[in-house]
Chains A and B, each alone.
Chain A
Amino acid sequence: MKTSYMNPYLAGVLLGLVLLMAFFFSGRGLGASGAVKSVVVTAVETVAPEHAANSLFYGNYVGEDKSPMKSWLVFEMMGVLVGGFLSGALSGRLNWKVEHFPGITANRRLIFAAMGGILFGFGSQLGRGCTSGSALTGMAVLSVAGFVSMMAIFGTAFALAYFFRKNWI
C-alpha cells in the first residue's frame, strides 16, 4: 500500500510550533532520552533500592519525595505514543513489522537496531540529551550545546555511513 507522508517543510513548521508551545507553556523544550532514563531509574530503584540510593547517578533521582516517573519527559513520551499511533491509524500505517532494507535479513536488522539503541542510550546520557532534547531544542534557544550536539551527531553519522551502507542501500 502506497503511503503518503506530509510535506516535510510543512511538518517542520508544525513541529517547530509544537516546540514553541512547549517553551511558551512550560519554559522548556522537547526531549526523549530523559524519559527512558526515568524508567531505568525506577526499575533499578524497585529491584535494588540500596544500590540506587548509594549510586552517584541514580542517587540524584531517588529519595523520599522524589518520583522519577512524574517527570515532564515521561508524560511527553506517553503523548508521543498516542500521537504517533493516531497518525499511523489515520494514514493507514499501522502494522507490526521489522522494517529493513530488502538486501538484509530481518534478524540482522534487529541486531543492528539493538546495537544502535545501546549506543544512543549511552551517548544521550553523556551528551545530556538526544536529537530532540539537545540538538533540536538547543538550536531553538541558540545554545552552544545544541549546535555542538547537532554537528557531532550528524557529522559522525555521515562519516560512518560508508561503513554501514550494506544495511541500507
Chain B
Amino acid sequence: MTVKNIVFIGMLFLGVVIAMVPENTTKPYKLTAEAMLVEVQGAAEMVSADDVAHWVISKDPSLQLIDVRTPDEFDKYHLEGAINIPLSVILRDEYRDYLDQGVKMNVLYSNGTLISHQAWMILRQLGFKNNYVLQGGLNYWFDTIMNPQEPSTLAANEEFAKYDFRKAASSALGGGGAVALTAPTQTQAEKPKVVRTKKKKAPQGGC
C-alpha cells in the first residue's frame, strides 16, 4: 500500500464518517459533579434581600438584577433596573454576554427561589461566574422589604435596626411603608466579590 493510497483511503473514510455526524453545537458543562455539589452545599450563591435593597438604593453600579420569569410576569411587575431573561431562553447566544461576564454582579430572581435556582445551576455548570440568587425571591422581598413587619417590643436591637432599614428602603423603592422611627442605619452590606474573569478575548489570528 503506497503512502498515496493510504492517504486517499484515509481521507475518504474519515470524510464519510464526519459527513454522517450532525453539526456539533452543544455547550459543554465545565464543572464536575463533585465541584457542583460542594458549591450548592456551601450556598455561597445566595444574596439576602436586605443586601440587594441596599445596593438598589445606593445605586450600586455593579449590581444587575435579572428577572428569570416569563415576559408576562415581568411586564406586570419587576424590580427597578432588572432585565428579563426568561429561564426558557437562557442558553441563547444573545444573552451570553449578560450571563458570562466578569464586571457585574448578576442577581437572579423569580417569585420564589425555585426558578432562579434552576437558572443558577445551569449557568454555574457552564462555568459562568458572578451570578447569584435572591434569597426568598420576590415573595420574600414584598414581605420583608416592601411591607416590613414591626418587630415586637421584646425583640433585639438588631431586629429594630433591620426594621428601620427596611422601612426606609421600602419608601425609597416605592413601597407602602411609613416613615422610619430612626434614621436608616448604613449597614455595610457585605458584597460578594465580583470575580473578574479575564475578558475572554475574541480569538486572535490572521496573517
Q: CB atoms of A and B under 8 A apart anywhere in the complex?
A: yes
B205 lies within 8 A of chain A by Cβ: yes
A124 lies within 8 A of chain B by Cβ: yes
* Binary contact track B1-35/A, C-beta < 8 Å → 1, others 0: 00110011000000000000000000000000000
Residues of B contacting A134 in the complex (Cβ-Cβ under 8 angstroms): 207
Residues of B contacting A73 in the complex (Cβ-Cβ under 8 angstroms): 207
Residues of B contacting A27 in the complex (Cβ-Cβ under 8 angstroms): 203-205
Contact B3 A10 (CB under 8 A): yes
Query: Which of the segments A28-36, A81-89, A96-104, A157-165 contacts the partner chain?
Result: A28-36
Using A9-B3, A10-B3, A10-B7 as known contacts, say yes or no to A28 and B207 having CB atoms under 8 A apart: no
Contact B204 A28 (CB under 8 A): yes
* Binary contact track A98-131/B, C-beta < 8 Å → 1, others 0: 0000000000000000000000000010001110
Q: Which residues in B have some Cβ–Cβ distance to A below 8 Å?
A: 3-4, 7-8, 203-207
Contact A12 B7 (CB under 8 A): yes
Contact B203 A34 (CB under 8 A): no
Contact A132 B207 (CB under 8 A): yes
Residues of A contacting B207 in the complex (Cβ-Cβ under 8 angstroms): 31-34, 73, 124, 128-130, 132-134, 137
A13 lies within 8 A of chain B by Cβ: yes
Q: Which residues in A have some Cβ–Cβ distance to B below 8 Å?
A: 7, 9-10, 12-13, 27-29, 31-34, 72-73, 124, 128-130, 132-134, 137
Question: 27 A–B contact pairs at CB < 8 A?
Answer: A7-B3, A7-B4, A9-B3, A9-B4, A9-B7, A10-B3, A10-B7, A12-B7, A27-B203, A27-B205, A28-B203, A28-B204, A28-B206, A29-B205, A31-B205, A31-B207, A32-B207, A34-B207, A124-B207, A128-B206, A128-B207, A129-B206, A129-B207, A130-B207, A133-B207, A134-B207, A137-B207
Residues of A contacting B206 in the complex (Cβ-Cβ under 8 angstroms): 28, 31, 34, 128-129, 133
Nearest residue, chain A, Cβ from B10:
A13
| A72–B206 CA distance with the chains assembled, in angstroms | 10
A9-B8, A129-B207, A130-B207 known, 5 other contacts, Cβ within 8 Å: A13-B7, A27-B203, A28-B205, A72-B204, A133-B206
| A81–B37 CA distance with the chains assembled, in angstroms | 52
Residues of B contacting A72 in the complex (Cβ-Cβ under 8 angstroms): 204
| A12–B203 CA distance with the chains assembled, in angstroms | 26
Most chain B CB within a 10 A radius of its CB, from A9, A31, A34: A9
| A149–B12 CA distance with the chains assembled, in angstroms | 25
| A134–B205 CA distance with the chains assembled, in angstroms | 10
Closest CB of chain A to B2's CB: distance in Å?
Answer: 8
| A134–B3 CA distance with the chains assembled, in angstroms | 28
Residues of A contacting B3 in the complex (Cβ-Cβ under 8 angstroms): 7, 9-10
Residues of B contacting A13 in the complex (Cβ-Cβ under 8 angstroms): 7
| A97–B4 CA distance with the chains assembled, in angstroms | 32
Closest CB of chain B to A148's CB: distance in Å?
Answer: 14
Nearest residue, chain B, Cβ from A127:
B207
Residues of A contacting B4 in the complex (Cβ-Cβ under 8 angstroms): 7, 9
Residues of B contacting A28 in the complex (Cβ-Cβ under 8 angstroms): 203-206
| A7–B2 CA distance with the chains assembled, in angstroms | 10
Residues of B contacting A133 in the complex (Cβ-Cβ under 8 angstroms): 206-207
Closest CB of chain A to B107's CB: distance in Å?
Answer: 33
- Nearest first, the 4 closest Cβ-Cβ pairs linking A and B are A133-B207, A129-B207, A28-B205, A31-B207
Closest CB of chain A to B203's CB: distance in Å?
Answer: 5
| A73–B204 CA distance with the chains assembled, in angstroms | 11
Closest CB of chain B to A136's CB: distance in Å?
Answer: 10
